[in-house]
Each structure stands twice: as C-alpha cells, then as structure tokens.
Chains A and B, each alone.
Chain A
Amino acid sequence: MRSENELIKLLNRDLNLLSFKKLRKQNISIRFENEELVSGLNYLKSQNYIHLATISCVDWIEDNQFELIYQLFSYEDKISLSVKTRINRKTSKFVTIKNLWGVAKYYERDIHDFFGIKFTGNDNMDELILENWNEIPPMRKDFKTRQYVDKKYDWRQYHGQE
C-alpha cells in the first residue's frame, strides 16, 4: 500500500506528466498531453487502478478549451486519482478508451449528447437521453436556458395579471 508522496514519486519517474497536485488527503490530480493519455491510462491500470468511476467534462469557454477528467480509484492504495487533459473547443475530437474499459462506451455517448465532442473509434453516437434535439448541445456555456424556455413554452396567466 503506497502513500500519496510515494505514488507521486513513482509516476514522475515512469510517466511523462505535465503537472500534478495533491488536493487533500486521499485525493490527487495529474495532467497529461493529448497523445500520452491512453498509454498513461494503460500503465495505471497495470498498477492496480482498476476502478473507473466516471468520465466528466468541463467547458472553459474563456480559454477556448474543453477539459476531460477520468476518475480512477485503487482498492489497495485507497487513493482517488483524477486524470485530466484539455482539447481544442473548435475541433472537439478525441479517441475512445473502450478497449480498456467497455463501460466507457456509454459515458462517451452521454458526453457527445450534452457537449458535442466526437470520439473516433466509438461507432454508436446516437441520442441517448435527449430526443429530437436540434439546437446547440445544452451543457455548453453559450446555450441560454431562460431564452429558450421563453420562446418554446408559455407561462400560466393568473387572475389579476395581464
């Protein structure tokens, strides 16, 4: 069982990290370049980080980038590891990891539905949760909910209100 400092030393020695940070007890975050991410995840899976909890996405509209975060966990070290990378907002393309964890197919399909990112190698990108949606993907920061709701639905009129 390793402590947080031993794990950081091991990763610095074996992988090509851009940056790392110890957030609090039992929680560390590391960052990769786009091309190094899949081989980094492969190495971590062989070092007992076998539990993929989820894949999240954040829209940094001022930097013009999307950020993808893979949440991993190890039952032996008891450390929760967030693996991050940033991609360009205009092209919005990345590779799939469905050969390492099969369940990642559905997490990537969900991110495509809400943010519009395409994953090459994943051939089923149909709509999962929305139906017949023909505006920009709703979780992006330039989608204004209040204007959309005022245009599409009507509010109830009460007596005494015009």
Chain B
Amino acid sequence: MDKSKMTEMFFGPNHPGVPGNYGINYFYEGDTVVSAEPNPGHLHRGFEKLMEEREWIKNTPLVCRICVMEPDINEMVYAMGFEAIGKIDIPKRATYIRSIILELARIQAHIFSIGGNCGAIGLYTAMQWGVLTRDYILDLFEEITGGRVYHIYIRPGGVRHDIEDVTLQKILDLLNDLENNRMPEFQKLIFENPIAQKRWKNTAILNQEDALSLGVTGPALRATGLVHDVRKLMPYAAYEQVDFKVPSGQDGDAWTRLKLKKDEIFQSINIIRQLINNIPDGPVSLNLGNALKYKIPNGEAYVKIESSRGEYGYYIVSDGGLKPYRVHVRGTSTPLGLYGVESLLPGCRIEDVPIWAHSLGICPPEFDR
C-alpha cells in the first residue's frame, strides 16, 4: 500500500459530525477510504478502579455516569448482579416499576437517536423536533425520580420509593399524545421523504456473517434477518408477563436500522400500557439492613440486559467483603467502535462516514469507561 499517494485525515475529537469525544484517523485516495484506525481514550475516568475503593451502596450514584444517553441501564445491571450473587428475590411491584422505567428510557433514547441521524444528513427540522419530544419525557422522569438526566432510582433490593396513581395516569396521557399526534408527523417528514430515502438506502451496509463474527447485537443485528433479543432469550424483571413482538428487517443498511427504531417505539408503548393496567399492590423494596454494611457471599456472575442499542453486560466478582473485588463493564458498542473501524470502514466514501458512525449506535464513554 503506497502511502505517498494518499492523504491522511483526522476525523477527530473536535468535530460536529462525530457522536461524542472520539477520533478516527484514516487514509483516503480520491473519494474512498483505504485504511482506518480508532483513537479512543479521551473520556477515560478509571471507573473499574474507583468501584473497588467504595462500599457496595456507594457505587450506585457512580455507575449511572458510564453511559450518558441512557443512564438507567447501568443501575439495573449493577442491582441485578448484586441480587444474583446474593440469591435475593425482590417484590413483584418493584419488578413492574423497573420495567416501566426501562421502557421509558428506551423510547427517549430512540427518539434522540433518530434526531441525531437526521442532523448528520442535514435535515435540521427533525433534529429540533427530536430533542423537544425527548424533553417532555425528561419532565416525567423529574416527577417520578427527582432528576432530569441522572435518576439514581433503581438500587439493590428494589426501587427507592413508590409511584402514585396520578403519575401513572400522566404517563398514559403522554403516550397517547405521542402515538396519535407526534409520530405521524415524524413519519411524514422523515420516512416518506424521497431525498432522505435516497441518501440512506444502500449506505453503510453490514452483512450477517460480519455481524455474528464481531459480536454485534441489537438493531444492527436484527436488520440482517435474525430475531435475537435478550428480553426473550434470558428474561429479566417483568418481561415474562407481557406480550410483544420483536421487529426485524432484511437488507442491513442504514434505512432498515432507522425503520426498526421507529417500530420498536410503538412496541414499547404497547408494553407500558399492559404493565400499567396489570400492576399489583405491595411493597417496593426489601429491607436488607444497614446500607453501609451490605455483604454478599463469595461468588461471581455475568449478567446482561437489552439496552436500546444491544446487549450490555457486567461481570462482578465478590470475595465476601464490604467492597466489590472486581467489576468489568462490557459496553454495547465495544466491537464496532474498536475493531469495526479497522475492518469495516475501508471501501466507504468520505461523506458517508458520519452516517456509518451515527446509525450503528457508537457511544464512546462505554468502551473508554
């Protein structure tokens, strides 16, 4: 490969087209990328070392800052790992409330991601609509938990406090407004727009054998034809008591992935309505004693859940003491952000690189930790 005929480009951390503080260095010739390599590490805070120095309960406000777009999934996986090693069963009303919070977080992450994808091709009206609609859901979170972005609501043993019936009715009103008034406008502006369709069809293609050998999960894998979802493979919380479908597509390009995100929003609205209609009464958390002296026996666990972009897992090791011995975080976009840049990006055109990065769901703080 003769590097003297090629130009080097730093698609670097200070750029409006890259999703977060992350860089890609690549060589190009003419209009096409020839070789690329990732430049991560700008957001590294040393979480795994910090978690070994604090007690079990003091890690709960720290863990939600690992992934900034959807902080609830981190609290959920940490609590699930703690309860799996300690063999603790939580009350039934707490599992229903946890599922409602996780589905609301999935809806707001999908809306933000559709808006971000439209901003990458120049459709700025849809970006403003996306950020505004997500703000109404953040107002609901502020009523339930007390904070707009970082909630610190799910903790080992259940949730922090109860939801009242007035708030449950407000959730149902907002979902009705979303389904009847706002999603049809998104449909007309984005998905029936001939310019956007021409820009997204047959761009940033990912085929099935590449996806399986890399370890990709979530909408990027379901757009190639397989129907794999952690909520059906290893059920957790209250997902065995509700009835829902998992959408999938055939082509594997950016257009199919965005249509899947829109279909999943409608399925989530359906799930929340079933959960609110059948929610049981009872306590919302277990009393595990003095919070600063939580202890669980010797053991290990690898637990995972389905976030809006794919499988998210933690590996926790405990040695019977007051602090965790080792916590390892496996973010969703680790294979795509690191090895995917080296093996999948050559062959792409320069103007399609932001579409590749945004539609596959690369979130840098997950693999920088």
Contacts and interface: CB of A to CB of B under 8 A. Distances in A.
Q: In the complex, are there CB atoms of A and B closer than 8 Å?
A: yes
Interface of A: 23-24, 26-27, 29, 50-54, 56, 58-59, 69, 71, 75, 78, 80, 82, 101-103, 105-106, 128-131, 138-139, 145
A83 B359 CA distance: 33
A10 to B, nearest CB: 21
B215 interface: yes
Interface in B291-339: 299-302, 304, 311, 313, 315, 317, 325-326, 328, 330, 334-335, 338-339
B315 A56 contact: yes
Nearest to B212: A50
Given A24-B84, A53-B215, A129-B368, A71 B315 contact: yes
Given A51-B212, A58-B326, A75-B233, A128 B317 contact: no
Contact of B44 (A52, A53, A103, A130): A130
B48 interface: yes
B30 interface: no
B41 A128 contact: yes
A59 B319 CA distance: 12
Given A51-B215, A80-B302, A129 B234 contact: no
Given A27-B302, A80-B302, A103-B338, 19 more contacts: A24-B301, A29-B300, A50-B212, A52-B215, A53-B215, A54-B328, A54-B330, A56-B328, A71-B315, A75-B228, A75-B233, A78-B234, A80-B234, A101-B215, A103-B213, A103-B215, A106-B334, A130-B44, A138-B46
Contacts of A71: 302, 313, 315, 330
B197 interface: no
Contacts of A131: 41
Contacts of A78: 233-234
B49 interface: yes
A145 B49 contact: yes
Contact of A106 (B234, B338, B368): B338
Q: Which of A24, A78, A130 has the most CB of B within 10 A?
A: A24
A162 B330 CA distance: 43
Interface string B206-222: 00000011110000000
A141 to B, nearest CB: 9
Chain B contact-residue range equals 35 or more
B354 interface: no
Nearest to B40: A129
Contact of A103 (B226, B234, B335): B335
A128 B84 contact: no
B336 to A, nearest CB: 10
21 contacts: A23-B300, A29-B300, A50-B212, A50-B213, A52-B215, A53-B313, A53-B330, A56-B328, A58-B326, A71-B315, A75-B233, A80-B234, A80-B304, A82-B302, A102-B343, A103-B215, A105-B339, A106-B339, A129-B368, A139-B48, A145-B49
B334 A145 contact: no
A80 B233 CA distance: 11
Contacts of B343: 102
A147 B185 CA distance: 57
Contacts of A26: 234
A47 to B, nearest CB: 15
A102 B216 CA distance: 13
B8 interface: no
Contacts of A59: 326
Nearest to A52: B215
Q: Which 8 pairs, one residue from A and one from B, show the smallest C-beta to C-beta distance?
A: A129-B41, A106-B338, A54-B330, A56-B328, A103-B339, A58-B326, A103-B335, A56-B315
B328 to A, nearest CB: 4
A82 B314 CA distance: 13
A48 to B, nearest CB: 11
Contacts of A80: 234, 302, 304
A102 B313 contact: no
Contacts of B368: 129
